Amino acid sequence: MVATFCGHRVGSEEILDLFILWRGQPGWFQRRGSGGVGGGGSRRFGAGTKGRVSQHATYGDVTISFDADFDANTVTILNVLVPLDKVNTVLVDGIAEPDVRSISRTLWIEPRLPLTADMNLMVVRRSRELRDYLQCDIPMPSPMNPSLPNVPVITVCEKLKSK
Q: Which residues of 150-162 are buried (b: 16+ CB within 10 A; e: fewer)?
A: eeeeebbbeeeee
Q: For the chain, what is the domain count? A: 1
Tell me the pLDDT tens digit for each residue of 115-161: 977 899 999 999 999 999 999 888 776 665 555 555 566 678 887 88
Q: Is the pTM of this model over 0.95?
A: no
Q: Find the angle CA(24)-CA(26)-CA(28) to the nearest 5 degrees.
A: 60
Q: Following CA atoms 58, 118, 160, 127 in sequence, which dihedral angle do they give, to the nearest 10 degrees? A: -90
Q: Which domain holds residue 52?
A: 2-162
Residues of the chain with pLDDT under 70: 31-49, 141-154, 163
